[in-house]
C-alpha cells in the first residue's frame, strides 16, 4: 500500500531552480557552478523542507521548461500573478499558464 502512495504523488519533474540553477549577467539560465546553458524542466520550490512527498504536498512558485537558457514551452504560475505566491504542484492545471518561445511570451491563459 505504501508503494502505491509514493508512486501516486504528483511531484515536480526537473531541477530546483534555486538549488541547481542561476541567471547569468546575460539574463540566461545556467547550471550552477558552470557555464552550461540549461535545457530541461525546472521548478522553484517554496522551500526544500516544505516538500512533503509522503503527503503529496509540493508547493512551488512556478514550474516550466527551459531551452538553451531561455524559457521555452509551458510555464505555470500562481493565479494571483504575485511573485511571492505559490500553488500546489498537483493543482497546476488550475493556475495561470504562459507559453514561451525562445524566451518570448506567445500565449497567456488566465
The pLDDT tens digits of the residues spanning 86-109 come to 888 888 889 999 999 999 999 999
Q: Are 42 and 71 in contact (CB under 8 A)?
A: no
pTM: 0.81
pLDDT at 24: 97
pLDDT at 81: 87
Residues 25-36 pLDDT 10s:
999 999 999 999
Which residues lie closer than 8 Å to 9 by C-beta, 6 or more apart? 53, 54, 56, 58
Amino acid at each position: 500500500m505504501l508503494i502505491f502512495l509514493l508512486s501516486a504523488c504528483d511531484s515536480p519533474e526537473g531541477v530546483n531552480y534555486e538549488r541547481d540553477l542561476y541567471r547569468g549577467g546575460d539574463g540566461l539560465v545556467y547550471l550552477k557552478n558552470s557555464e552550461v546553458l540549461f535545457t530541461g524542466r525546472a521548478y522553484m520550490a517554496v522551500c526544500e523542507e516544505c516538500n512533503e512527498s509522503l503527503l503529496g504536498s509540493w508547493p512551488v512558485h512556478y514550474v516550466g521548461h527551459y531551452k538553451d537558457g531561455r524559457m521555452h514551452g509551458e510555464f505555470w504560475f500562481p493565479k494571483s500573478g504575485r511573485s511571492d505566491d505559490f500553488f500546489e504542484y498537483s493543482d497546476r492545471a488550475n493556475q495561470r499558464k504562459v507559453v514561451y518561445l525562445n524566451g518570448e511570451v506567445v500565449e497567456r491563459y488566465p
